[in-house]
Amino acid sequence: MARSTATYICQNCGAAHGRWQGKCDGCGAWNTLVEEGDAARPSGPGRASRKGRLFALEPLAGEGQEAPRLASGLPEFDRVTGGGFVRGSVLLVGGDPGIGKSTLLIQVAAALARAGHRAVYISGEEAVAQVRLRAERLGLGDAAVELAAETAVEDIVATLADGKTPRLVVIDSIQTMWTDTVEAAPGTVTQVRGSAQSLIRFAKRSGAAIILVGHVTKDGQIAGPRVVEHMVDAVLSFEGEGSHQFRILRAVKNRFGPTDEIGVFEMTGEGLREVANPSELFLSERDLGSPGTAVFAGIEGTRPLLVEIQALVAPTSLGTPRRAVVGWDQNRLSMVIAVLEAHCGVRLSGHDVYLNVAGGLRIMEPAADLAAAAALVSSLAHAPLPADAVYFGEVSLSGAIRPVAQTAARLKEAKKLGFTRAIVPEAARGEVSDGMALTPVAMLANLVADIVERGTKARRTGT
C-alpha cells in the first residue's frame, strides 16, 4: 500500500517535516507547520529512465555578458538596483503592509511607460478600478501602464508571452499568486515558491524584468517570500517608521550591483517623492542646545548621510535597567555602554538608557559608536554638545577610537550642511579637512572628560 506523501512545511522558513509538530526544527518558530501536498517530488512517467540531453558549454568571455540595463526614471530607485533593470532579472521588493510598496511600484511602472516601454502591473490584492483610482490620484492617469487583477500564474504567463514582451512586469503580491503545478492552498510556502519559479522561468526566457512584491511579517522576515530570496536576482526592502514620512529602499541582496546603497523617499499626498539630499531631511527638525543629541556623519553606500543620534539616560526604578534602541544595533549599544563603564568611569548600571536614530533611519555602521557614546554621556552629564559638530569613529573594546573609511566624504558633507567641527578618530588627524576644524580623539575616555567638563562649565556660568 502506498504511504501518504503529505509533508508539513514551515510557513516561516520553508523547512519540510515528515509529520506535524508544534515547533519547526529549521527556524524554531512555533505553530508554523502546514500540511501541503508533496510538491518537491518531480512526477510523470519515465522519470527514472530519462536520458540526459546534451547542451553546449559557453566560454566565460563572450558576447552579451554586459547586462543591458533599463533605467526606471526614478534615480533613487535606480541607485538601489545598481543602475536600473537588467533584462530577464527578477527583483523581490519586501516591506510591511501599508509601507508604500504598491505606490512605489505603480510610480516605477508609470515612469517606464512614459519613456515608451511596455510596463504591466498585475495586482492580486486590489481591483483594477482601485489601482486606477490610486494612479489618478498620483497624477499618473496618462501613463500607458497595462493593468490586470489576476492571481493565476499560468494565465499571467500566457498573457505576457502573447504579443510584445513587456520590459517590466510588477506582480503585487507574490503571496496572492497560485499555480496549478503544485497542490497546495494559495498563500502557502509551496504555492509562493511554485509561482515564483514559473514567473522567474518566464523572465529568463523572455527577457522581461519582473518585480515581485512580498509582505513582511512583524519580526522583519519576508513571510513565505523568504523562501524565494535565493531564487531571485535582487532583494530590496522598503522600510520606514509608520509615524515618519521617510521611506528607505535598501538592497539586501543584489546580483547586479552593490548592496549597501539606500534610496530615500518621502510619502506625501501625491505619492512617494524622491529625496535627493537626505541629510537635509534627517537634520531638518534638530533639537538644538538640548543634552543627549549628537550628529553622526555616516556613509550609506556611496553617499554620505548625516543623522542625529538621540540618547536619554535616566535613573531607573527597575531592578534590571532598560536598554532600548531604535534604529541601531542593540549589541553595539551594549558594547558602547560596557566600554564607557569599564574604561571611562561612567556608571550606567543605575540608569535606563534609550537610544534613537532620528527620522526613522536604521544605521548599520560601527562608525556610529562615537556619536552614540557622545550622546549618552551628554545626556547623563546634562551637557549639550556643540551644535556645529559632527562625530564619527568606531569604539574598540579597549576604549580606543578606531579609524573608519571615507573620512573626506564625511567631512565634505558636514561642511556642506553648515557644520564647522568634527570629532574624529586619532588616525584622521591631518586629513584634508576642507576648512573643518578637526578634534582627533585617541581614547573614548578623553571625549567623556571633555563632555563632562563642558557640562560643569555650563552649569557654573549658567547659574
Using an 8 Å Cβ cutoff, are 32 and 24 in contact? yes
Which residues from 257-286 bind ligand TYD, rule CB under 6 A? 267, 269-271
Q: Cell 499568486 appears where?
A: 177
- Catalogue the long-range contacts made by 332-336 (C-beta closer than 8 Å, 24 or more residues apart): 332/366, 332/368, 332/369, 332/372, 333/372, 335/369, 335/395, 335/397, 336/369, 336/372, 336/373, 336/376, 336/395
Using CB distances below 5 to 8 A depending on partner kind, what does residue 134 bind out of ligand TYD, Mg ion, none?
ligand TYD
Identify which of residues 275 and 363 has a Cβ nearer to ligand TYD in the complex. Answer: 275
101 near ligand TYD, rule: CB under 6 A: yes
Using an 8 Å Cβ cutoff, are 99 and 247 in contact? yes
Name which position in 7, 11, 32, 103 contacts ligand TYD (CB under 6 A). 103
- DSSP lists the bridge partners of residue 171 as 122, 212
Task: Give me the least distance between CB of 463 and ligand TYD, in Å please.
Answer: 47
Pick the stretch among 95-103, 104-112, 258-266, 382-390 that binds Mg ion (CB under 5 A).
Answer: 95-103
Task: Give me the least distance between CB of 110 and ligand TYD, in Å please.
Answer: 12
Distances (CA, A) of 261 to 75, 77, 201, 300, 302: 12, 10, 28, 6, 7
Task: Give me the least distance between CB of 303 and Mg ion, in Å please.
Answer: 28
Task: Give me the least distance between CB of 147 and Mg ion, in Å please.
Answer: 14
Pick the stretch among 17-25, 96-104, 116-124, 379-387 that binds ligand TYD (CB under 6 A).
Answer: 96-104
Q: Cell 563603564 appears where?
A: 341
Query: What does residue 295 show for φ and ψ, rounded to 5 degrees?
Result: -95, 125
Identify which of residues 84 and 94 has a Cβ nearer to Mg ion in the complex. Answer: 94
Task: Give me the least distance between CB of 97 and ligand TYD, in Å please.
Answer: 5
Which residues from 132-191 bind ligand TYD, rule CB under 6 A? 134, 138
Identify which of residues 68 and 139 has a Cβ nearer to ligand TYD in the complex. Answer: 139
Task: Give me the least distance between CB of 242 and ligand TYD, in Å please.
Answer: 9
- The CA R_g of the chain, rounded to the nearest whole Å, is 26
Strands (E), 255-384: 262-268, 271-274, 293-300, 303-315, 323-326, 351-357
414 near ligand TYD, rule: CB under 6 A: no
| Three-state secondary-structure class, residue 131 | helix
Using CB distances below 5 to 8 A depending on partner kind, what does residue 100 bind out of Mg ion, ligand TYD, none?
ligand TYD
Task: Give me the least distance between CB of 121 and ligand TYD, in Å please.
Answer: 12
Identify which of residues 119 and 371 has a Cβ nearer to Mg ion in the complex. Answer: 119
Using an 8 Å Cβ cutoff, are 374 and 367 in contact? no
C-alpha grid cell, residue 332: 553595539
102 near Mg ion, rule: CB under 5 A: yes
The number of beta carbons lying within 10 Å of the beta carbon of residue 49 is 6
Applying CB under 6 A, the residues found at the interface with ligand TYD are 95, 97-103, 134, 138, 267, 269-271
Applying CB under 5 A, the residues found at the interface with Mg ion are 102
